Structure 1
Amino acid sequence: MSSAGEALAAARPRLRDDIVLGPAVRSGPVLVHNVKDPVVGRYYQIGPREYFVMSRLDGSTSLEEIGVEYAAEFRRRLGDEQWRQILSTLAARRLLTGTEAPAGAADGASAVPGPAAEPDKRTLLNARVALLDPQRFFDRILPYLRPLFSAPFVVPALLAVAGLMVMVVVEAGTLAGEAKRLWEAPAAGVTVALILWLSVAVHEVAHGLTATHFGGGSSEIGVLWRFPVLAPYCRVSDVLLFRRRWHRVCTAFAGVFASLLVLLPVVPLYFLAPEDGVLRHAAAALLLFGTFSAVANFIPFLQLDGYFMLNHALGMQNLRVESYTFLKLWIGHVRRRDGAAALERYPRRTKIAYALYGVGSVIFGAVLACWFAIWLLTLAWGLLD
């Protein structure tokens, strides 16, 4: 071994202390790890081999020692040229100690952002406008809200919102009839709509606070336009860095939970208000529309909280896209008898998950499209009649 090679083998590079390495998650046939550089706010995706090396760059373990462990794990040795390429890439992205970028500076390296940090594509039907970074605010108020994350609060609250949902389902017909009376009081209707919109803001803040509670954070709060809905949003890309799946699932669930919690005070208001009064009709509308809009978030075939809860529970990301990719491969294999090698890369459990979700998503989309077409035809027929 040359002197240069000996020096390289003896080197003990150190990954920056603030770099966060996330757990393995399934993305298609492969496992990936999400990596965060908090200085420049970038997220990278790496494979298990890159993770193996990066997780051992602690400043005390030599490259030679890491290389021996790597060969034992992957049955392949890393040569000097490969080590130089790995270190130069990490240095270019300023992930090693001594290569830090100034706070807020962009390094020009090509990052692979996590799903929650993908570049926004603005169209007339879909747009996102960031307003502020809420993390400092969340850090300040979280100590006062810690009791809300304890079992003595969460368990009774879960029972209460479960009771709320049962009550709304049982009384749905009555609530709908009373809510219709709001057409007679436009001001009350506008107030109800404003309260529901603010409950969405509470929903989004709950995601950010829960992510902060579990050691992550939120990078931005803003306004999301998805025709025909204008609503607030909170970006919590750090969720993919949480080691425990349970923490990821809870962060996704927190929004719906908060939306239902804010409706609990409306229940006594509904029963105590005069039966034919505007207050009663407003309370009915809040309970009906607030509960059903919150529960709709659980539908896993819409890219809402239920979808992300399912992703996290399965230890996956990009479930929808990867399911469609898998179905295309499978259909191509059935029709043309090719693609067998690509299908074999998927573990059996992953094949089942992608097949079930992909087929269910297609059926759900078809049913939703048929329902919408029938509704349009019924509306048109009523107008012509």
Structure 2
Amino acid sequence: MSELANLTTMEVDALTDLDGGLNLTDGHARLLLSEEQATIVAQIPDMFVEATRRSFPSIETEAHTTFLAAIGQHSAPVGTGRILSCYSSTLATDIVARALPAGTTVALLHPTFDNIADLFVTRGLNLVPMSESALLDQDWPGPPVGAIVVTHPNNPTGLVTPEGHLRSLAEHAARHGQTIIIDASFRGQVRDAQYDSYAVLDAAGADWITIEDTGKLWPTHELKIGLLAYSERTRLPIERAFSESLLAASPVVLQLVTALATDWVNGGYDRARALVERNRRTVREAIGTVGLRLADPTSQISVARIELPPNGPDSSLLYKEMLVRGVHVLPCAPFHWADPAGGLPFIRVSLARPFDTVRTAARTLAQAYRELSAAS
């Protein structure tokens, strides 16, 4: 693993910057509440009252039903006990890592967010990279790989695993006795990713685990839920690992998820997409003035990679210069957890920010790159 600082450390530095630097690091929605969302948040005191009146299972089931339906997952095992509510998707990932037998060889999509790899290695698992090109070619790893991890859509590239490719992977895994693990934390942002993956996996007879996340969708200041769902076929001790970590998620936050998911299908999704795409355009325009381009022009998730040419400053240098100028972004070497040098030509910015913040940061990045290039 890389000796570089991990991505979450950089995100914490941005979040706790005492000088008030612009934070375009993490993929969480750090936006102003829409009018509709503000009305929902104003109802939180009533949700506290409701949490004492209603049973936890009824609140939880309603949240699971509403949220999963809002993102197209109609075959998810709601009401079976095989969906666990966690404080975050990161906690859900760690639970999965602890449930897998120590020493298991895991194929993990590459590049992807580094904390997945970090958590798995910490729990004694052996990682091998699976490239996005291998995924698109349906070149699936065989034994001794015991589990295959796909991020859908992938962070940072935005790659969506097509439905037919997931079906092929599920059939392959069923034949070889492998477990498919899907991190779908950004699924709610992208319609193309919202085909019913649970139906695909079950139809293929695969053993699967899926992690969903609400934290990338709404500006609720870490009031979020990570859902950990697993197949009827799995024999992994997921419930035991869950019980070692927490008792339950907050019934108040679950009610908040229900209300926000309802708004998501009643205009919330379209409002969020319009803002993200406006921000993506302003980044594209700003970096275009210095000859840079978006690395993933068809990506629909709320982050964007900027590609740097080989004859100029790389992302580690540009990242440091941006800090000097009061702007936090992410160099992409840590995303390339098996080959950090492969990420040096890319730097990532978050688009789930107010427009003025993104525009200022993008213009600052362009100016920093211009001046670094002139000095080299």
**TM-score range normalised by the length of the shorter chain:** under 0.3
Larger relative strand fraction: 2
Q: Which has the larger radius of gyration?
A: 1
User: What TM-score, normalized by structure 2, do the two folds share?
Assistant: 0.24
Q: TM-score, normalised by structure 1?
A: 0.23
Structure 1 or 2: more helix by fraction: 1
Larger RCO of the pair (alpha carbons < 8 Å, separation 6+): 2
